Chains A and B, each alone.
Chain A
Amino acid sequence: MMEEEVTLYKNVCPRNCFSTCSMITHVKAGKVVKVVGDPSHGFTKGKLCAKGYGYSQYVNSPERLKYPLMQTKRGSGNWQRITWDEAYDIISEKMVALRNRHGSNQSLAYNKFSGNLGLLHFAIEGLFESFGSHTKPVGNPCLGTGRQALKYNLPFEYSPPPEEMAYAKLVVIWGSNPARTNIQQMKFIHAARDQGAKLIVIDPIFTETAKVADMYIQIRPGTDGLLAMGLTKRLVDSALVEEWELRKQISGWDHYADILRNLDMKEVCEETGVCEEAIAELTSLYGTRTPVATWIGYGLQRRKMSVQNVRAIDALVTVSGNRFIKRGGLYYFHPEVENMPLKILKDNNQKNEQNREVNINHFASELLKLDDPPVEFLWIHSRNPLSQDQNIREWDRLMSQLEMVVVSDVTMSHTAKMADIVLPATTQFEEMDLHVSYWNHWLSYNQKAIEPVYEAKSDLQVARELAMKLNEKQPGFSRFPVELEAKDWIEKEVTDEVKENYSIKSWQDLIEKPAHFRSQFEEFQQILKAKPKPFTFFSKKAVEDGLSPFPIYQRDRENANHPFLLLTPQSLLKLHSQFGQVDWFEAYESSFDIKINREVGKQIGVETGDVLVVYNEQGDMEGLVELDASTPKNVVIMNQAGKEPVNALISTRLESYPGKESPELSSPFFDIYVSLRKGGVRR
Chain B
Amino acid sequence: MILQYGFLFQPDRCVSCHSCVIACLNEHRQTTKQSFRRIVDVNGEYNLSLSCNHCDSPECFRVCPENAFSKRRDGIVDLDQTRCNGCGLCLTACPYGALQFNDLLKKVDKCNFCSDRQKLGELPACVDACTTSALLFKNDIHSDRPYMQRTVLTVDGFYSPLLTRPSIRFVPMEKKRRYWLKE
The contact of B26 among A49, A56, A269, A275, by CB within 8 Å, is A56
* Contact call B26/A53, Cβ cutoff below 8 A: yes
Judged by a CB distance under 8 angstroms, whether B146 is at the interface is no
The contact of A220 among B29, B116, B174, B181, by CB within 8 Å, is B181
Classify chain A's interface size: 35 or more
* Contact call B129/A211, Cβ cutoff below 8 A: no
The contact of B131 among A54, A187, A270, A584, by CB within 8 Å, is A187
In the assembled complex, the CB of B36 is this many whole angstroms from the nearest CB of chain A, namely 13
Chain A residues positioned under 8 Å from B150 (CB to CB): none
The chain B residue with its CB closest to the CB of A200 is B177
Task: Pick out which of these stretches binds chain B: A177-185, A230-238, A361-369.
Answer: A177-185
A-contact 0/1 string along B140-183, CB 8 Å cutoff: 00000000000000000000000000000000001011111111
* Contact call A630/B180, Cβ cutoff below 8 A: yes
Considering only residues 308-331 of chain A, those with a C-beta below 8 Å from chain B are: none
* Contact call B18/A572, Cβ cutoff below 8 A: yes
Considering only residues 35-80 of chain B, those with a C-beta below 8 Å from chain A are: 35, 44-47
With A48-B129, A187-B132, A216-B177 already in contact, the answer to whether A273 and B183 are too (CB < 8 A) is yes
* Contact call B179/A215, Cβ cutoff below 8 A: yes
B-contact 0/1 string along A260-290, CB 8 Å cutoff: 0000000001100111011001000000000
In the assembled complex, the CB of B118 is this many whole angstroms from the nearest CB of chain A, namely 13
* Contact call B21/A588, Cβ cutoff below 8 A: yes
When chains A and B are docked, how far (Å) is the Cα of A429 from the Cα of B26?
17
Chain A residues positioned under 8 Å from B133 (CB to CB): 187, 190
B-contact 0/1 string along A572-609, CB 8 Å cutoff: 11000000000011011000000000000000000000
When chains A and B are docked, how far (Å) is the Cα of A269 from the Cα of B180?
12
Chain B residues positioned under 8 Å from A214 (CB to CB): 174, 176-177
With A48-B129, A628-B44 already in contact, the answer to whether A53 and B179 are too (CB < 8 A) is no
With A48-B19, A48-B129, A183-B131 already in contact, the answer to whether A212 and B179 are too (CB < 8 A) is no
* Contact call A50/B180, Cβ cutoff below 8 A: no
When chains A and B are docked, how far (Å) is the Cα of A1 from the Cα of B29?
13
Judged by a CB distance under 8 angstroms, whether A36 is at the interface is yes
When chains A and B are docked, how far (Å) is the Cα of A46 from the Cα of B16?
19
In the assembled complex, the CB of B43 is this many whole angstroms from the nearest CB of chain A, namely 10
* Contact call B181/A179, Cβ cutoff below 8 A: no
The contact of A277 among B26, B27, B179, by CB within 8 Å, is B179
* Contact call B22/A53, Cβ cutoff below 8 A: yes
B-contact 0/1 string along A39-79, CB 8 Å cutoff: 00000011111111110100000000000000000000000
Chain A residues positioned under 8 Å from B181 (CB to CB): 204, 218-220, 273-274, 632
With A187-B131, A633-B183 already in contact, the answer to whether A213 and B176 are too (CB < 8 A) is yes
Judged by a CB distance under 8 angstroms, whether B23 is at the interface is yes
In the assembled complex, the CB of B120 is this many whole angstroms from the nearest CB of chain A, namely 10
* Contact call B26/A36, Cβ cutoff below 8 A: yes
When chains A and B are docked, how far (Å) is the Cα of A37 from the Cα of B27?
13
In the assembled complex, the CB of A338 is this many whole angstroms from the nearest CB of chain B, namely 28
When chains A and B are docked, how far (Å) is the Cα of A51 from the Cα of B26?
11
Chain B residues positioned under 8 Å from A183 (CB to CB): 15, 17, 19, 131-132
* Contact call A34/B178, Cβ cutoff below 8 A: no
Judged by a CB distance under 8 angstroms, whether B107 is at the interface is no
With A190-B13, A587-B34 already in contact, the answer to whether A216 and B179 are too (CB < 8 A) is yes
The contact of B178 among A37, A179, A187, A216, by CB within 8 Å, is A216
Judged by a CB distance under 8 angstroms, whether B25 is at the interface is yes
* Contact call B179/A179, Cβ cutoff below 8 A: no
* Contact call A1/B116, Cβ cutoff below 8 A: yes
The chain B residue with its CB closest to the CB of A635 is B181
Chain B residues positioned under 8 Å from A528 (CB to CB): none
B-contact 0/1 string along A181-209, CB 8 Å cutoff: 00110110010000000000000101011
With A186-B131, A632-B183 already in contact, the answer to whether A54 and B21 are too (CB < 8 A) is no
* Contact call B183/A573, Cβ cutoff below 8 A: no
Chain B residues positioned under 8 Å from A179 (CB to CB): 15-17
* Contact call A186/B132, Cβ cutoff below 8 A: yes
Chain B residues positioned under 8 Å from A48 (CB to CB): 19, 23, 129
The contact of A49 among B14, B17, B33, B45, by CB within 8 Å, is B17
When chains A and B are docked, how far (Å) is the Cα of A190 from the Cα of B130?
12
B-contact 0/1 string along A514-545, CB 8 Å cutoff: 00000000000000000000000000000000
* Contact call B131/A47, Cβ cutoff below 8 A: yes
In the assembled complex, the CB of B6 is this many whole angstroms from the nearest CB of chain A, namely 21
Chain A residues positioned under 8 Å from B47 (CB to CB): 208, 211
When chains A and B are docked, how far (Å) is the Cα of A587 from the Cα of B47?
17
Judged by a CB distance under 8 angstroms, whether A35 is at the interface is yes
A-contact 0/1 string along B103-144, CB 8 Å cutoff: 000000000000010000000000011111100000000000
Chain B residues positioned under 8 Å from A460 (CB to CB): none
* Contact call B19/A281, Cβ cutoff below 8 A: no
In the assembled complex, the CB of A195 is this many whole angstroms from the nearest CB of chain B, namely 14
When chains A and B are docked, how far (Å) is the Cα of A52 from the Cα of B15?
16
* Contact call B177/A215, Cβ cutoff below 8 A: yes
Chain A residues positioned under 8 Å from B22 (CB to CB): 50-51, 53-54, 584-585, 588
B-contact 0/1 string along A624-639, CB 8 Å cutoff: 0000111011000000
In the assembled complex, the CB of B183 is this many whole angstroms from the nearest CB of chain A, namely 6
When chains A and B are docked, how far (Å) is the Cα of A227 from the Cα of B83?
64
Most chain B CB neighbours (cut-off 10 Å) among A36, A46, A53, A183:
A53
Chain B residues positioned under 8 Å from A378 (CB to CB): none
Judged by a CB distance under 8 angstroms, whether A665 is at the interface is no
When chains A and B are docked, how far (Å) is the Cα of A212 from the Cα of B178?
11
In the assembled complex, the CB of A199 is this many whole angstroms from the nearest CB of chain B, namely 10
* Contact call B129/A53, Cβ cutoff below 8 A: yes
* Contact call A212/B15, Cβ cutoff below 8 A: yes
Most chain A CB neighbours (cut-off 10 Å) among B33, B116, B179:
B179
When chains A and B are docked, how far (Å) is the Cα of A281 from the Cα of B179?
11
Judged by a CB distance under 8 angstroms, whether A613 is at the interface is no
In the assembled complex, the CB of A129 is this many whole angstroms from the nearest CB of chain B, namely 39
The chain B residue with its CB closest to the CB of A19 is B131
* Contact call A275/B182, Cβ cutoff below 8 A: yes
Chain A residues positioned under 8 Å from B18 (CB to CB): 50, 572-573, 588
Judged by a CB distance under 8 angstroms, whether A217 is at the interface is yes
The chain B residue with its CB closest to the CB of A270 is B182
In the assembled complex, the CB of A55 is this many whole angstroms from the nearest CB of chain B, namely 9
A-contact 0/1 string along B76-91, CB 8 Å cutoff: 0000000000000000
* Contact call B19/A49, Cβ cutoff below 8 A: yes
Known: A53-B19, A190-B133, A630-B180. 7 other contacts (CB 8 A): A53-B23, A54-B25, A212-B14, A218-B181, A270-B182, A273-B182, A632-B183
Q: List 12 A-B contacts (CB under 8 A).
A: A47-B128, A50-B23, A183-B131, A204-B181, A208-B16, A214-B174, A218-B178, A219-B181, A220-B181, A273-B181, A277-B179, A572-B17
In the complex, the 7 A-B pairs of residues with the closest C-beta atoms, listed nearest first: A179-B15, A47-B131, A278-B179, A50-B18, A273-B181, A53-B22, A50-B22
Residues of B bordering A, CB below 8 Å: 12-19, 21-23, 25-27, 29, 33-35, 44-47, 116, 128-133, 174, 176-183
